Structure 1
Amino acid sequence: MDNARLAEGLHEHTAGFAYAATQADPDTLVPTCPEWPLRVLTGHIGQAHRWAAGIVRSGPSPVPDPFDADPGSPEKWSDWLLQGAAELEEAVRASGETPVWTFFGPQPARFWLRRMLHDTTVHHADAALATGTAFTVAPDHAADAISEWLELLANPVTASLRPGFAELRGTGQTLRLAPDDGPGWLVHRTPGGVRWTRDGEPADVTLAGPVEDLLLVLTRRLPADRVTVTGDHALAEHWLAHTAA
């Protein structure tokens, strides 16, 4: 997926989040996002986009506290959020292929465009679920979000940042994600951590369904019964219990 498509998705889901977030009282709690109020979740989105843009432009800075962000009054949320997304897109465009800081070592600036797209997409779902607003994500964006999530889980650095992810290590157990259309993912739980490939042989447990639903189940935004689970249900439950985003 090229940068233009990533940026398109970022703007689309930022706007979608802004709309969903303003459909209820700003103090409404968001159950799928550590019960933050909508105001805090909104602040987090705009704050994160600007934080990522700053990293691209000038290097790392401390992870900001969402409770410190001030998105302003709800009628200003959309403009404020879209401005942050535009700032990130511009920073990435200006950086080109120059490596920038990430948690996983130097990478092209598009790392942050992709990371913020998928973070925003999941939080768009959070806001939609909290306010009863419609949510959808394009199949290519949903598939890339699943791949990126698995890349993060497979990186050894992740367990040092989130120790709970070390529980995903195993002794060869396999989990398959099978979307209705397109190739799926085969995940191996090894003593050294998570390994994965696109599609593959039958697995100990398979989760099948629309790619959008697979993404939201994997990120614990929807219950597992939104997809079809066949095989070792306990393995699927253990995986989901330790992968909340």
Structure 2
Amino acid sequence: MHSTRLAEALLDRTAAFATTVAGADPDTRVPTCPDWPLRVLVGHIGQAHRWSADIVRSGPAPVPDPRDADPGTPDEWAAWLRDGAEDLTKAALDAGETPVWTFFGEQPARFWLRRMLHDTTIHHADAALATGAAFTVAPDLAADAISEWLDVLSDPVTASLNPAFAELRGTGQTLRLAGGDSDGDGDGWLITRTPDGVAWTRAAGTADVTLSGPLQDLLLVFTRRLPLDRVTVTGDRGLAEHWLGHTAA
């Protein structure tokens, strides 16, 4: 996905997030982020965008605590969120192909646009679940969010960041995600659990377990925002449950 598309989508997703939290009680608990009230979720989004922009401009920085973020009063949230997203998009587009620091080694700055776009998308779903608002995501963005999450899980560095991810290693067990709507690629995702970690490809074929359904539902189940029963599970349900039980970000 081109940097310009990622930047536009980040601004759109941030604006949608801001609309979802507008007028909500800051102390509303977020069921899919159970340790956070809504004001901390808002703080995390704006803080993460600014943190990523600082990394693009200046290099690595300590991961901030979202409880330390100060998004202001609820009537200031929308402008604060917009400013953070605009800061990141400007920093990333200005950097172009210049390599910048990431957890997984130096990469072009669009890494942070993509990471923050999909983090914002999933947390938009969190906000919608907390407030009862509607949530939708375009199929191409849902598909790229799944691919990006698999990129994270398949990188050897990831298990050192969260030991639970090391439990995703296996001896050749396979999972398949099959979207029921167009994602611009069409074949779904075939995931293999190897002794060295997770491997994946965009491919059709059979697997030990297949999760199928609309791409939005697949994304939200795969990121543990909706229960497994929201999609159709064919094959070894226990394998799917084990995967989801060890992929909490």
Bin the TM-score by the shorter chain: over 0.9
1:194 corresponds to 2:163: no
Hey, what does 1:150 align to over in structure 2?
Answer: 150
Secondary structure of residue in 2 paired with 1:30? coil
Within the candidate set 223, 231, 235, 1:227 is matched to: 231
Q: 1:88-128: CA deviations, max 9, x gaps?
A: 00001111110000000000000000000000000000000
CA distance in 1, matches of 2:142, 2:3: 16
Contact 1:217 1:223 (8 Å CA) reproduced: yes
Aligned residue in 2 for 1:126: 126
Look up the match of 1:10.
Answer: 10
Match of 1:29, SS?
coil
Q: Distance in 2 between matches of 1:44 and 1:149?
A: 19
Question: Deviations for 1:155-212, whole angstroms, at most 9, x for unmatched residues?
Answer: 0000000111001001110000000132200000011100001023200000000011
**How far 1:221 sits from its partner (Å)?**
0.3
In the TM superposition, what whole-angstrom CA distance separates every residue of 1:29-87 from its partner, at most 9, and x where no partner exists? Answer: 10101330000010000000000000000111100010000000011100100110000
User: How far apart, CA to CA, are the structure 2 residues paired with 1:88 and 1:188?
Assistant: 34
Q: Does the aligned pair in 2 maintain the 1:23–1:131 contact within 8 Å?
A: no
Query: Counterpart amino acid of 2:238?
Result: A
4+ aligned runs moved over 3 Å, structure 1 = none
Instruction: Tell me the secondary structure at the aligned position of residue 61 of structure 1.
Output: coil
**Displacement of 1:224:** 0.7
Instruction: Tell me how far apart the structure 1 counterparts of residues 34 and 223 of structure 2 sit (CA, whole Å).
Output: 13
Output aligned runs, 1:158-197, within 5 Å.
Answer: 158-181=158-181, 182-197=186-201
Gaps of 5+ in 1: none
SS of the equivalent of 1:239 reads helix
In 2, Cα distance between equivalents of 1:102 and 1:165: 19
1:14-33 deviation per Cα after TM superposition (whole angstroms, max 9, x unaligned): 11111112242100110101
Partner of 1:52 in structure 2?
52
Amino acid at match of 2:115: R
Tell me how far apart the structure 2 counterparts of residues 35 and 24 of structure 1 sit (CA, whole Å). Answer: 18
- CA separation of 1:225 and 1:23: change in aligned 2, threshold 3 A: farther
Q: Are the equivalent residues in 2 in contact too, given 1:17–1:124 (CA < 8 A)? A: yes
Number of the residue aligned with 2:210: 206
| Aligned Cα root-mean-square deviation (Å) | 0.8
- Equivalent residue runs for 1:25-174 within 5 Å: 25-174=25-174
Aligned to 1:243: 247
How many residues align? The count is 245
Secondary structure at the aligned position of 1:170 is classed as: coil
The runs of 5 or more residues in structure 2 that have no matched partner are none
TM-score (ref. length: structure 1)? 0.98
Distance in 2, matches of 1:140 and 1:200, equals 18
- Calculate the TM-score normalised by the size of structure 2: 0.97
Matched residues in 1 for 2:114 and 2:151: separation? 12
Aligned to 1:36, what secondary structure does the other structure show? coil
CA shift at 1:11, angstroms?
1.0
